[in-house]
Amino acid sequence: MLRHFDLELDELKRQLLGMGRLVEMAISASLEALETLNAVAASNVVAADRAIDELENALDERCFDLLALKQPMAVDLRFIAMSMKISTDLERMADLAVDIAQRVIELAGKPLLKPLVDIPKLAALSKRMTSEALLAFVEKDADAAAGIIIMDREADRLRNLIQKELMEDFMAKDTSVAPRAIPLLLIARHLERICDHATNIAEDVIYMVRADIVKHHPERLNPE
Amino acid sequence: MDKEIRMRAEGVNFFYGSRPALKDVNLEIYRNQVTAIIGPSGCGKSTFIRLLNRMNDMVPKSRLEGRIFLDGDDIHDPETDVVDIRRRVGMVFQKPNPFPKSIFENIKYGLEINGMRDKSVIEDKVVDSLKKAALWEEVKGRLYDSALRLSGGQQQRLCIARCLAVEPEVILFDEPCASLDPISTARIEELLMELKQEYTIVIVTHNMQQAARVSGNTAFFLLGEIVEFGKTQDIFTKPRDSRTEAYITGRFG
C-alpha cells in the first residue's frame, strides 16, 4: 500500500538532495577559485552560503514536523533522524567551502609559496567523497558508504603530508613565509574536515540502511 | 490559515438541562481540510461535532445558543430542512453501524431516502461510492452478501461509502477508528487523506497521534471551551497555551 507519508518522505529526500547539490557546487567553486587565486570568484562562494543556511533550517523544520506529526517507526524513523544529521553535516561542509574561499581572498595577489601538488589531490578527494556520500544516501547503498569511510584515511594522510611539508620545509626555515603558508595549512585542514563530514554522512547512511552504528566503531565496517 | 471557510461556529453555548457542555465556542472549518478536535473525555468534543449536523436536536432538555453556519446558512434556523443538512453534512460513527442488509442495499438505502429511483444511476453510485471508500476491490464479487459478514475495518469503510453516496459536502468522523485494529486504522487514515481532496472533514479523536497524522488544523477542547485552535503542526510542535502543551505531552488527561 502506497502511503501518503511516502510522498512526504520523497519530498524530504528531494529537498536534502537539492541542498547536497548546492553544497557540492560551493565546494567546487571554492576549489576553482583556489586554482586561479580568484578573489571575486571566492567572494561569490561566501555570498552563496546564505541560501544553504536557510535550506538547513527548512529541512530541520520539515524533519521536526514529520517526527512530531507522523510518529515514524523503524526505517522511516531512521531516515528522518539521519536526514536531520546529514543536513547539519552538509551545512558545515558549505561553511568549510566559505572558509576555503576566505583563505583564497587572503592569498590573492601574492605569489604562491610553492606549486600546489598535494592540496589539489586532497581537493579532488573531498569532492569525490562528498558526491559519493550523497549518491550512497540516494541509493541506500551501505557498501558504498563503507568505502567512503575508508577513503577518509587517505584524506588524513594527505593533510598530514601537506602540514609537515609547509611547517618543516618552509616555515621552520623562514618564518617570514608564514602569511603565505598559514592559509595553505588552513586550506588543507578545511579540505580534510570536508572529508570528515562526508564520512559522517556515510556513517549515517549505514545506520539508515542497516541500523548498525559504525561511528566510533571502525571494526564494525565490513564492506562486501 | 487563509483557506475558504466551509462551516463556522459563532458564540456557541450548549446545555444539557442546566449543565453547560460548551462555552462560547468559536471555530472555523476550512474547505478541503481535515480539522481534528481533540481533548479529554467530557470536554465537549462529541457534543460539538454532533451540533454540526444537528444530531443533538432530539436530546431532551438540551439548549443551544449561538449559531453554526454551513456556507453562510444558519443550520439551526427553523426554516432549515434538517434532512437536507444531514445529507450535506454526513457522519461516520465510532462503531461501524451497517444495516443488516447486503453491501449493495446499505448504500442504495440512503440514495432512495434522498429520492433516487433510477436503477442504473443507483448502481453507478454504489460502485462509485465503494471505489471512493477504497472498498470496491475487496467486495466487488459479493455485493449481495450481508454487510455484517465484512470485517470491522471493511464495515467502517462501507459506512463511509454509504455516507459518500449521497454526495455530502462535509463529513464528520466521531472516533472512526476507536474499534479498529492498527492496519484497518491505517487504511481509514489513508482514506481520509484521499477524501479531503473532495470533501471537508471534521474528526473527533481520543487518539492525539491520529489527529497529528491526518489533520491540517486542530482544536483542543477542555471543559467545554476551545483552549487552542491552529495549524496541526503548530499545535503539536509549539502550542501557545500551557494547557495544550500539558495535554499533548501526556501530563494530564
CA distance A173 to B232: 66
ipTM of predicted complex = 0.79
Chain B residues close to A70, C-beta within 8 Å? 212-213
Domain assignment present for residue B56? The answer is yes
Q: How far is CA B252 from the centre of its chain?
A: 26
Residue A63 has pLDDT above 90, yes or no: yes
Domain assignment present for residue B196? The answer is yes
The answer to whether A71 contacts chain B (CB < 8 Å) is: yes
What per-residue confidence (pLDDT) applies to B180?
A: 87
What per-residue confidence (pLDDT) applies to A221?
A: 81
Domain assignment present for residue B253? The answer is no
A 51-70 near B (Cβ less than 8 A)? 64-65, 68-70
Do the Cβ atoms of B237 and A70 come within 8 Å? no
Confidence of residue B251 (pLDDT cuts 50, 70, 90): confident
- Whose CA is closest to B132, among B166, B101, B96, B99? B166
Do the Cβ atoms of A1 and B190 come within 8 Å? yes
A55 touches A18 (CB < 8 A): yes
Residue B156 has pLDDT above 70, yes or no: yes
Q: How far is CA B145 from the centre of its chain?
A: 27
B198 lies in which domain range? 5-248
For residue B172, what is the domain's CATH number? 3.40.50.300
Mean pLDDT, to the nearest integer, of B62-68?
96
Domain assignment present for residue B86? The answer is yes
What per-residue confidence (pLDDT) applies to B2?
A: 55
Q: How far is A58 from chain B (nearest CA, A)?
A: 14
Residue A224 has pLDDT above 60, yes or no: no
Chain A residues close to B190, C-beta within 8 Å? 1, 3-4
Q: Which of B187, B190, B245 to mutate to test the interface with A (most CBs of A within 10 A)?
A: B190
Global pTM reads: 0.85
- The HSE-up count of residue B195 (CA atoms within 13 Å, CB side) is 35
When mean pLDDT is compared across A53-62, B112-121, B155-164, B231-240, the lowest value belongs to B112-121
- Whose CA is closest to A217, among B24, A207, B99? A207
**B168: CB partners within 8 A, 6+ apart:** B87, B88, B89, B90, B199
pLDDT digits (tens, 9 = 90+) for B32-52: 999 999 999 999 999 999 999
A-chain residue closest to B233, CA distance: A65
Place of cell 465537549: B44
Do the Cβ atoms of A65 and B233 come within 8 Å? yes
The conformation of residue A170, written as its DSSP 8-state character, comes to I
Domain assignment present for residue B168? The answer is yes
B 217-246 near A (Cβ less than 8 A)? 232-233, 236-237
The conformation of residue A178, written as its DSSP 8-state character, comes to H
Chain B residues close to A65, C-beta within 8 Å? 233, 237
CA distance B39 to B223: 9
Q: What is the mean pLDDT of chain A?
A: 94
Domain assignment present for residue B187? The answer is yes
For A68, the closest of B186, B190, B237 (CB atoms) is B237
Confidence of residue A151 (pLDDT cuts 50, 70, 90): very high
**At A8, phi and psi to the nearest 5?**
-70, -35
pLDDT digits (tens, 9 = 90+) for B158-188: 999 999 999 999 999 999 999 889 999 999 9
CA distance A47 to A101: 10
Domain assignment present for residue B160? The answer is yes
- The HSE-up count of residue B34 (CA atoms within 13 Å, CB side) is 25
pLDDT digits (tens, 9 = 90+) for B78-123: 999 999 999 999 999 999 999 999 999 999 998 998 888 999 999 9
CA distance A198 to A126: 8
Q: How many CB atoms neighbour CB A48 within 10 A?
A: 18
pLDDT digits (tens, 9 = 90+) for A92-146: 999 999 999 999 999 999 899 999 999 999 999 999 999 999 999 999 999 999 9
pLDDT digits (tens, 9 = 90+) for A154-202: 999 999 999 999 999 999 999 999 999 999 999 999 999 999 999 999 9
What per-residue confidence (pLDDT) applies to B218?
A: 98
What per-residue confidence (pLDDT) applies to A188?
A: 98
Residue A35 has pLDDT above 70, yes or no: yes
Counted domains in chain B: 1
Question: In DSSP terms, which residues pair with B146 in a beta bridge?
Answer: B102
Residue A222 has pLDDT above 80, yes or no: no
Confidence of residue B204 (pLDDT cuts 50, 70, 90): very high
What per-residue confidence (pLDDT) applies to A2?
A: 73
Residue B139 has pLDDT above 90, yes or no: yes
Confidence of residue B253 (pLDDT cuts 50, 70, 90): low
